[in-house]
Structure 1
Amino acid sequence: MTVTLSPTSVVSLPDDPFTLENISNPYPLHEKLREAGPVVWLEKHGCYAVTRYEWVYEILTDFESYCSSGGLGPKDIRKEAEWRPPSILESDPPTHTVMRRGLAGVISPSTMRRLREQFAPFAEELAEEVAQRGTVDGIVDIAERYPLKVFPDAVGLRPDGRENLLPYGSMVFNAFGADNDIRSAAFAEGERVAAWVMDSCERENLTDTGLGADIWTVADEGRIEPQQATLLVRALLSAGVDTTIFGIGNTLYNLAKYPEQWEKLKAKPQLAKFAVDEALRVESPFQMFHRTTTVDTELGGVPIPADSKILLFMGAANRDPRQWGEDADVFDLDRNASGHVAFGMGLHQCVGQPIARTEIELMLQALAKRVDRIELTGEVTPWIHNVLRGFARLPLQLTPRS
């Protein structure tokens, strides 16, 4: 859809958040967009952009005016079909309500207690291994290895084919950004990868115990439809790997960058949950996605017509000095990071976030018991991704505790 804007209605900018430069280091652009106004118009992509915490929060919590069922990418999937059926991430009530209740019943407090016990041994084993090795890649050796082992086991996936999980997640999330070369590369083997994932979500291909089987039990009880069970297992697989890997890697990066914060965590491992939130805030794995307006609305005095796409920059909102203070770009365990929007907010806040939090927290606590210092030993390599923020390589030196 083409929207005609008067020069006085909104600031219009030519900047493209999906260039290699802005993906590798998004924060200068975030600052420019935040200071340009509460809402700006991105000329290249023909959409509005919102970067300030106040207005990102408002959009995330007002699902009636800013819907998810229009798709989290640039297309309005109510009018144009996308490459896969919409998941819980791209649904609104009443469909969303039914699916979320079904998933919330599976990821319960009792489930999380069981998963914590299930996840802890490998965190201890892996932390011991990397501490003794010393020179490691924080991504390949820790951030990827840990969730790619414990999470598929928890879902109940068969062992063969798990290498498809990362390519599948890359497809899902890259589709939330621009239709560019990055997205095209992510879809290079799309048909094969998507077929494996969808096949893996079927009841007969899951173990009898695990989150996948639990979701199918909800379907057996009539609380969700069988096709919704498949979609919910698929949603777990797409949302439960990539963002957790980036969450672990981004946290390790900040603890190495700010050694005084590692000293605090090492002295008090119970601070791990605060380290998780502060890292999610300052280096948000999920940087941006779209919402679609359902009515004519207004943000910060800027009128926005119905059926408009708005690109929400959660990564920018989580560093907004208006919300977090002038040192918003600094990782600080003494900061109260509650209220960050790295997992969304409101009705669509990530229902699986307790799993990701548990994984990151257990890994940090296991490392804190064994590692005296975490040091960067070279340049980090950013992961080139349309909407996720993380690193492809993170060279670290771990000094074991004596």
Structure 2
Amino acid sequence: MKKSKIALAAAMSLCFGAAWGQAASSVTLYGVVDVPVEYVNHMAVGAPTINPATGAITQQKGGNRFALSGGGGLSGSRWGLRGVEDLGAGMQALFVLESGFTLDDGKSGQSGRLFGRQAYVGLQSSTVGKLTFGRQYTTMFDLFANFSPTGYATLYEPVVAQLGTNFRSDNTAKYTGVFGGVTAEAHWSFGTGVGAIGTTALAGGGAGEVPGHFRDNAGYGAGVAYAGGPFGIAVAYDQWNPTVTTGSSGTARKAGAAASYAFGPAKLMAGYRWGQTKDGAGNTLLRDDYYWLGLNYQATSALGLTLAYYYDDVKNLRTSAAQPNNNQPNPWQLSVIADYNLSRRTDVYLTMAYAKNAGLNFDTSATSFANGYFFSQGNSNQLGAALGIRHRF
């Protein structure tokens, strides 16, 4: 009897295995581990404070810092699972689960989320495009990725100043279509999950999805990109509605364009981003024009060099009712990278940046205190340098 049960189970396994085998599927484990040793001068011990009565910004005391930067250097450390199943007729099901972590202490990144970098499922068609649902990057993030001189490097690219703190959003439905050299994309977030704007906490932690308040903390965007031969261009719009008081949301709007041109071993990139943030009462909190220019140069088959310049023209910065326009000097930053490939999966790098009128990555009150590079009292500039190793699997 026991042998007959085993035989029956084996036969059923063969039958069902053959039936399911008609649909090809795969699950891939992937990841990046990246850690640099970093030096930063004029480093404050904490974020600046803002006097609510006068709007005056006060920097904290500090000094030079040497550290093992667990957040990554050229890339944020992460591991992930990516799966695809062929459903036939040119249709596939897909999912991505991606977890960030800090390599120096092994903790989960993105405020302790298990899959804080990405977590989504969807369907894609070879002719119509792809529709995905979950925690995802915004349209502007995706379309400007190929126009980032440093590839959205964790160290020394003002990505939050450029794209906003909502560049990775919860509760998001996204469409992506690729038609030859043209990529079209649009997304809608029912609640971005961004917990604060600047130093101000948002209602419900920015989760949104409050009954009767559909607009609160919602976000959306759309754009198109073209790549053909050596030339590339992209245009995109992004908006989210940060909400401090339920039912009274503000607006954070961004629109931009970027272009690139490759010639021989070099690639030149440039971009512009218009931005305007208003509170629930319609007061302008921030109005700025952000620019970037960069060059990638493949000096040898193993050595790549990068030079990038960023400038933020802050037209208006409101830090309090008493200070509707806090006229501060405009921040700018220069970044350089030398990246040497030891193999296809392992590289070592030296990255450096100098910022003026802001901490590195433009960490000021205008960019939501995003990355923690605050310059100390009595200083108006900051220099950072890091030597690191990165391995992809």
Report the TM-score when normalising by structure 2: 0.24
Structure with greater proportional strand content: 2
Q: Relative CO higher for 1 or 2, CA cutoff 8 Å, sep ≥ 6?
A: 1
| Structure label with greater radius of gyration | 2
Query: What TM-score comes out, normalization by structure 1 length?
Result: 0.23
Please identify which structure carries the higher helix content.
Answer: 1
